[in-house]
Structure 1
Amino acid sequence: MIGRIGQALAQRAAEAAEPATAAPGTVHRSVRPRAPARRRSSHALGLADAIAFGEALDRLPDELLVFGIEGGDFGLDAPVTPSVRAAIHETAEAIRRRLG
């Protein structure tokens, strides 16, 4: 069951995010983000819902760190923009350093 929560976090993070207000490539880092759960069905889990579910089950890790990157171009077959690509590499390196 908890494996599915992790999958939901990965698959639904973008859906749970607020509309973009920052430039493409902006990295957002949040320690255990708090947001109201908005859905009433487990079939439509968003990030906030998954976190709330984990809290309700007392199954969240001691530290939950979420990274999000603002997208640039969402057109069909659009390539990743240079600023977003740079942010992906920057974020991946930050995660590597954090994990040691």
Structure 2
Amino acid sequence: MRKSVFAGLLFPLLIGVSVAASAAESAAPQVAKSAAVQAVQAPAQVVVVNLNTADELTLERELVGVGAVKAKAIVAHRQANGDFTSVDELLEVKGIGAATLEKNRAKLSVN
């Protein structure tokens, strides 16, 4: 008799735990999916770097493939030759090639 009373109490407890665990598992992927969708839908903010006013640190921080040496070369070119009149003039800077320019074209301005 004691076993049947114990089993009668244990069975509903195990069912409750199972249902709660199942509900938690099904809710977790939905949260992850909605977070992923929000991340995709959020507009990406692009920082625009003005080649005529940016300092070395800004160039190095914001541009892909531009380290301290290339950033210094950009500023030196600007000081020696005057302001850039187009983004394409960046190709005249030693160490800046077409690949680096294309990676950064959307971030660059001369205004």
Q: Which of the five TM-score ranges fits, normalised by the shorter chain?
A: under 0.3
The normalised TM-score by structure 1 is 0.23
TM-score (norm 2): 0.21
> Which structure shows the higher strand fraction?
1
> Which structure's CA Rg is the greater one?
2
| Structure richer in helix, relative to its length | 2
